[in-house]
């Protein structure tokens, strides 16, 4: 549309970069330098000489746009990995589609309603539609579907209520697949089932707003984290109104027995641990064809994100962090648990600079010989490459690399080639961190060099020994907190002066008011003063 608001465009200085081009939640969906393919979904785009409003405000105009119609046509012919019909061979397609019923939908018609139960999915023969999440009274477009795509598969696969609305942009012709037909596919064609399951997993991984999900006695709200095999939601225990984090295993990985056992193992292991420096697990739920681990909700950032923000951690604070990690690891090792994945991503820094060790998904008893060393490659001890089992010394090595990264802001072996990197770690001890940080305390320097020795026999015998050696630094550690500052807050004082006869009705009124203000994220405190 030649708006000039593409990155580097001639109107960006005046109007800024188009929000549709800058919105990271549409990663992988935007095509073209202006990201026009999804411009209808983003508020504040520039078209027809003016800044546009929200999706709800401009949807009629966008649906009638020549550029949008052109993109619709291209989308219908796209050779995308998400196209259901492209997955099926021509011979199988004819046989399969002949078993399905047919449905016609008019432009503007909502044929799937968020929150309702549903046991039918729709394969698009012609036309296009929008998937729209309704949240907090607002409509949020999350995806666009065209010829060959499948819509509504999530409910059929998981049994959950509908994840989003589906509204026809144009007249549509759909094949209808019910749950009984899907179950038949699952038995006869495991590959097709795996494909559909992966589509559902990708939908849950969307960076667009997610609807609330009821998981037993918990409600999951926004996505707050993503990992290789899980998605983490911020949630709440509905009965106790306690904030929680809900870690969901990706649906496609549930089909892999090894991943499923690892995920269950993580919940079982952490649930048996009770230490201030290890994240707590409250519960586990198995439903909707996946597994949910209910954990304590933490506020802060990963050590990796802190390093990105600060570049390095001041030596004395790094020592305090190490003492906390050692304390948690020592406790885990006493319980016969080796973490196997200590790194800056799996260390969480709370706002008061108190640390929690996360992700025990790879944890195992000492000496476990399962031919799988796993973990973040840059932190793996050299002996693990040779097939030696994980033990305390391999956790200590990973912690030493983490310490080196904290104080220097970089990895000790910068070589990017995996083969060369493995060779360097087998033959070269880590560089002296004092060469990069001249004022590094000697005890901290000694810890890093000893923890990272190539020969595990030259490292600390156990974490307790390392903790004792770092002990003197604990007494010198500054109590300065460098976590992200909390937003400034305000306080309003209200005095209610009343006779005794009004105490009970007033108390009920305050209880109702407390519920309302809590929904706004406001803390309410009350105090009684007698005989005024």
| CA–CA dist 124, 83 (Å, integer) | 10
CA-to-CA distance for 494 and 513, rounded, in angstroms?
A: 13
Q: Residue 320: pLDDT above 70?
A: yes
Any idea what the Cα angle at residue 52 is, between residues 49 and 54, rounded to 5°? Answer: 175
Highest mean pLDDT among 119-128, 325-334, 508-517 belongs to 325-334
417 burial class (0-12, 13-18, 19+ CB within 10 angstroms)? exposed
Q: How far apart are the first and last CA of the chain?
A: 70
The average pLDDT across 447-453 equals 95
Average pLDDT for residues 299-328, to the nearest whole number? 94
Q: For residue 501, what is the DSSP state?
A: G
pTM of the full structure: 0.69
pLDDT tens sequence across 455-498? 999 999 999 999 999 988 885 544 444 444 445 566 676 767 77
Question: Residue 304, Cα to own-chain centre: how many angstroms?
Answer: 15
Strand pairing partners for 374?
Answer: none
At residue 303, the pLDDT reads 95
Task: Report yes or no: 82 and 151 within 8 Å, Cβ to Cβ.
Answer: no
Give the β-pairing of 218-226 and 165-168.
Answer: unpaired
CA–CA–CA angle 234, 304, 203 (5° rounding): 40
Any idea how long the chain is?
Answer: 532
Average pLDDT of span 126-146: 85
* Least confidently predicted of 134-138, 181-185, 417-421: 417-421
Which domains does the chain possess?
A: 12-76 (no CATH), 84-202 (2.60.120.10), 213-296 (3.30.200.20), 300-474 (1.10.510.10)
Q: Rounded CA gap, 291 and 397, in Å?
A: 32
């Amino acid at each position: 549309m030649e708006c000039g608001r593409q990155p580097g465009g001639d109107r960006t200085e005046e109007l800024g970069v188009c929000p549709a081009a800058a919105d990271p939640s549409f990663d992988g969906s935007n095509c073209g330098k202006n990201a026009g393919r999804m411009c209808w979904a983003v508020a504040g785009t520039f078209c027809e000489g003016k800044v546009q409003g929200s999706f709800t405000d401009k949807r009629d105009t966008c649906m009638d746009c020549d550029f949008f119609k052109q993109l619709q046509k291209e989308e219908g012919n796209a050779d995308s990995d998400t196209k259901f019909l492209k997955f099926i061979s021509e011979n199988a397609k004819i046989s399969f589609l002949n078993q399905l019923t047919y449905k016609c939908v008019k432009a503007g018609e909502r044929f799937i309603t968020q929150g309702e139960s549903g046991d039918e999915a729709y394969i698009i023969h012609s036309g296009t539609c929008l998937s729209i999440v309704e949240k907090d009274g607002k409509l949020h477009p999350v995806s666009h579907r065209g010829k060959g795509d499948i819509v509504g598969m999530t409910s059929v696969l998981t049994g959950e209520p509908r994840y989003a609305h589906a509204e026809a942009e144009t007249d549509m012709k759909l094949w209808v697949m019910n749950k009984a037909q899907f179950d038949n596919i699952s038995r006869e064609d495991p590959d097709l089932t795996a494909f559909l399951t992966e589509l559902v997993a990708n939908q849950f991984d969307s960076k667009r707003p997610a609807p609330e999900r009821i998981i037993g006695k918990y409600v999951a709200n926004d996505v707050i984290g993503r990992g290789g095999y899980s998605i983490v939601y911020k949630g709440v225990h509905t009965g106790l109104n306690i904030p929680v984090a809900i870690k969901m295993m990706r649906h496609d990985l549930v089909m892999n027995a090894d991943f499923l056992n690892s995920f269950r193992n993580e919940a079982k292991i952490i649930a048996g641990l009770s230490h201030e420096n290890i994240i707590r697990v409250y519960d586990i739920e198995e439903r909707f064809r996946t597994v949910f681990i209910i954990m304590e909700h933490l506020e802060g950032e990963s050590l990796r994100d802190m390093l990105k923000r600060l570049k390095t951690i001041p030596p004395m604070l790094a020592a305090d962090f190490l003492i906390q990690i050692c304390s948690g690891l020592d406790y885990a090792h006493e319980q016969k648990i080796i973490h196997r994945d200590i790194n800056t991503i799996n260390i969480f820094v709370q706002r008061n600079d108190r640390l929690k060790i996360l992700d025990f998904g790879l944890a195992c008893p000492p000496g476990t010989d399962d031919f799988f060393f796993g973990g973040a490659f840059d932190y793996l001890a050299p002996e693990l490459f040779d097939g030696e089992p994980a033990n305390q010394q391999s956790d200590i090595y990973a912690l030493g690399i983490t310490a080196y990264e904290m104080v220097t802001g970089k990895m000790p072996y910068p070589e990017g080639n995996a083969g060369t990197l493995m060779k360097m770690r087998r033959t070269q001890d880590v560089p002296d961190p004092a060469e990069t940080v001249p004022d590094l305390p000697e005890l901290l320097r000694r810890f890093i060099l000893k923890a990272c020795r190539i020969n595990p026999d030259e490292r600390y015998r156990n974490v307790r020994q390392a903790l004792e050696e770092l002990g003197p630094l604990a007494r010198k550690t500054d109590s300065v907190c460098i976590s992200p500052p909390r937003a400034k807050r305000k306080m309003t004082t209200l005095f209610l002066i009343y006779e005794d006869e009004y105490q009970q009705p007033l108390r009920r009124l305050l209880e109702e008011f407390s519920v309302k203000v809590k929904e706004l994220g406001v803390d309410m405190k009350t105090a009684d003063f007698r005989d005024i």
